Each structure stands twice: as structure tokens, then as C-alpha cells.
Amino acid sequence: MPSLSDYFELNKDPIFQILVDVLGNIHSVLEIGSGTGQHGVYFAENLPHLIWHTSDLPEYLPEITERIAREGPENIRGPLALNVCDRPWPVSSMDAIFSANTLHIMPLKIVEHFFEAVGEVLVKGGVLCVYGPFRYGGRYTSESNARFDQYLKQRDSLSLGLKISRI
């Protein structure tokens, strides 16, 4: 079974290609659920015009702090202790919010808290970027996303594997 790091390596460039376009005129990004800090370090390094703020639950902060100290570019911040259910979030007026591989493993009530808080923190005209092994029309977008979703569900039995439709 591949590790989280393996999945990061597999998906970092396709995600980056989207972020280059979507975050071109953005100045500040809050990452929700930074995990190991790999996404934040990689995207901050390759999008130097951004100030990238990492965040996660308190138990994940030491690993993120260590990675930022070891590998982080000048434009990465954090990590901030952030539970999406707690208010207010420790930041305000963000140009963009990014979250990868989080929503589909949250119970539905927490997903609702996430979107409510995003509405409080994101500036008018801001950008919300969400990535994960979601299903569209009942199908995964790739076989690797199906495998990754199963991997995450094995780690957390409360994982929803949400079905997301385009709005």
C-alpha cells in the first residue's frame, strides 16, 4: 500500500498546474489540514508571489513545523492550530483557501462547519480550492483516487467518501 507521501508525489504536479492558473493574482492562501506540510512547502516554493499559511489540528503541528524549518521557503507561514468547528478561525481576510484530502474524510456536520467558516474568512471574490478523491456521478475521477480514498477510509472509519457534484 502506498504511503501518504507517495500519494502526494503522484498528485502534486496536477494540483500545481491548476493552482498556477487559479492563484495567479492571489496574495494569501490558508491551507486547511496541512498534514505533513508537503503541499504547503511545495506550493509555496513554486508560487513565490503567495504567502502560504499552513494549519491543522494541534497534534499535527510538530511535523509541519519541522518540515517548514527544514524545507520551507520564505513565503510559508505557520502552522496555525485550526479546528474547522472552532470559531473564530485564527486568521481573517484570506484571498484563497486550499484544502487537499480533507473534506471526504470529515463527518458531514464538520464539512458544514468548514463551509460556514470559509464564508467568514474568505474575502469577497476570494478563491476556494478543494482537492480530494471525490466521486462525480458516482465514479472516481481516476483509479489512483479510488485507491487513495480506500487507504484513507482504512485509516479512519468515519470517512464519508462524499459524493460531490458540480454546481
Q: What is the pLDDT of residues 115-128, one digit of tens each?
A: 999 999 999 999 99
Q: What is the pTM of this model?
A: 0.83
| Residue the block writes with cell 486568521 | 91
DSSP string, 78-117: EEEE--TTSSS-S---EEEEEEES-GGGS-HHHHHHHHHH
Domain that holds residue 114: 4-155
Residue 12 lies in a domain: yes
What CATH number is given to the structural domain containing 93?
3.40.50.150
In tens digits, the chain (167 residues) has pLDDT values of 555 555 567 788 889 999 999 999 999 999 999 999 999 999 999 999 999 999 999 999 999 999 999 999 999 998 999 999 999 999 999 999 999 988 877 888 999 999 999 999 999 999 999 987 777 788 877 777 777 777 766 765 544 443 333 22
Domain count, the chain: 1
Assess if residue 86 is contained within a domain: yes
The answer to whether position 162 is within a domain reads no
Residue 166 lies in a domain: no
Q: Could you tell me the end-to-end alpha-carbon distance of the chain, in angstroms, rounded to an integer?
A: 34
Tell me if 160 is assigned to some domain: no
57 part of a folded domain: yes
Nearest to 91 by CA among 29, 38, 33, 49: 29
